[in-house]
Chains A and B, each alone.
Chain A
Amino acid sequence: MGFSTLIDILGSTIIGGLLLLILLRMNDTAVENNYLFSGEKIVQQNLLDIVRLIEYDFTKIGYCKDWTKIPDPAKAIISATDTSISFLTDVAVSQGNLEGDGVPDTLKYYLGTKEELSSTPNPNDRILYRVVNNQTARGSNLGVTQFKLTYFDALGDTLHPNEMPASPPLGICTIQIDVAVENPAAYGDDYSSERKVIWRQIRLAARNLKTR
């Protein structure tokens, strides 16, 4: 084996190694991106599911199949804070009966604590609870990191919860809902702001809040 042959073998080994490194790096990037994109897709789907439910419920604030059961819709919102709201509505009985049963229900939305989900890698995620009447509080971890409610009166001025009356009517006409969702277990523990998806909805809580 001559010297030039050794050079050939050495050169081939180095170039082959470099090519192998490139392929391994490419594979690593592809795997990482696969996780990132899958996570992002799940986060976006979670957000849309949450928003769809919130929109549906909030639109029906003060609604009842038998309207005489909620004679004063201005009193439909029972309590309101920055991260929770409780109101009267008529929850759908089933897919076949979306109008409700004609009996007012109390629906409450509130945000759980970070400690409840200390087992998840994301330090900021919380459970968004939806409680009908006095049922057991239920909620799934969809990666909600922010659920902020801002209230406005008929003039469009902000209503701070500590300035509201102790009992209904609270004077709320419009609600701004800020929802942010993050991946509960992001790849590489990257929970930076660029990874969250935000939804802001300024909506009239319900037509029913106006006296018919």
Chain B
Amino acid sequence: MNTGQMLLTIGAIFLLSTVILNVNRGLLTTNTTMITNRYGIMATSLATSMIERAISKAFDEKTDTAEVTSLNQLTLPQNLGLDPGENRNDPNLFDDFDDFNCYRTIPQRDSLILDQNDPSKRIYFNTYCQVDYVDQNNPDLIKNQRTWHKRIKVLVTSEAMEDTIRMSTVYSYWRFK
């Protein structure tokens, strides 16, 4: 084999290697996207579940059993979170919307069993909730005083996910007269 043939052979092998690497990279990227989507769907279900659970509660601790007519009767912004007798490990004890603020820094940890026959096959998710009073005309603006509107921001993370799922909703106080 002379030098020209050697160079042609090396070039051919280089081209083939490049093609194989590119195809492999494409397959891995698509696979990663699919898995990310699958776990994203699960995380979204947890986030919407948390929001649904929150909006099923009373607007405020003070409105759970009675109605309020003044902002001064509502919970102070710095006191948003658990009330006496409530436990962050038992969400069934929560009675108002801002109780979910207890997951602001320490998340609620959920797991989903991937295989009913093998409970060890689980994926773990961390759900953070942040509840704040927000401005009526600009729900993205957090207010340091009491308003008739609270916003819950839910973040779901997992070691199996690259991105964080973020969802939020505004809950307002209303009553029938």
**A residues engaging B (CB < 8 A)?**
8, 19, 22, 26, 29-30, 33, 37, 40-41, 44, 47-48, 51, 155-157, 173-174, 192-194, 196-204, 212
Please indicate the chain A residues that have their CB under 8 angstroms from the CB of B118 in the complex.
Answer: 193
Quick one: which of A26, A41, A156, A202 contacts B34, CB cutoff 8 A?
A41
Interface residues contributed by chain B, number (CB under 8 Å): 29
Inter-chain contact A37/B20, CB cutoff 8 Å: no
Segment from B47-55, B145-153, B162-170 that makes contact with A: B47-55
Give the A-B pair count, Cβ closer than 8 A.
Answer: 71
Nearest chain A CB to B52 CB, angstrom units: 4
Given contact pairs A200-B46, A200-B49, A155 touches B92 in the complex (Cβ within 8 A): yes
Please indicate the chain A residues that have their CB under 8 angstroms from the CB of B142 in the complex.
Answer: none
Nearest chain B CB to A49 CB, angstrom units: 12
Please indicate the chain B residues that have their CB under 8 angstroms from the CB of A30 in the complex.
Answer: 23, 27
Please indicate the chain A residues that have their CB under 8 angstroms from the CB of B49 in the complex.
Answer: 200-203
Segment from B35-43, B63-71, B76-84, B97-105 that makes contact with A: B35-43
CA distance A198 to B34 in the complex (A): 14
Q: Which of B95-131 contact A (CB under 8 A)?
A: 112, 114-115, 117-118, 121
Nearest chain A CB to B86 CB, angstrom units: 12
Inter-chain contact B27/A33, CB cutoff 8 Å: yes
Inter-chain contact B41/A197, CB cutoff 8 Å: yes
CA distance A149 to B27 in the complex (A): 37
CA distance A162 to B38 in the complex (A): 34
Given contact pairs A30-B23, A37-B31, A47-B41, A198 touches B176 in the complex (Cβ within 8 A): no
Q: Which residue of A lies closest to B55 (CB)?
A: A204
Nearest chain A CB to B47 CB, angstrom units: 11
Does B30 sit at the interface, judged by CB under 8 A?
Answer: yes
CA distance A40 to B117 in the complex (A): 22
A-B residue pairs in contact (CB < 8 Å), sample of 5: A37-B31, A41-B34, A157-B92, A200-B112, A202-B49
Q: Which residue of A lies closest to B49 (CB)?
A: A202
Q: Which residue of A lies closest to B117 (CB)?
A: A193
Does B91 sit at the interface, judged by CB under 8 A?
Answer: yes
Inter-chain contact A37/B23, CB cutoff 8 Å: no
CA distance A204 to B49 in the complex (A): 9
Inter-chain contact B34/A19, CB cutoff 8 Å: no
Quick one: which of B27, B37, B46, B48 contacts A29, CB cutoff 8 A?
B27
Does B56 sit at the interface, judged by CB under 8 A?
Answer: yes
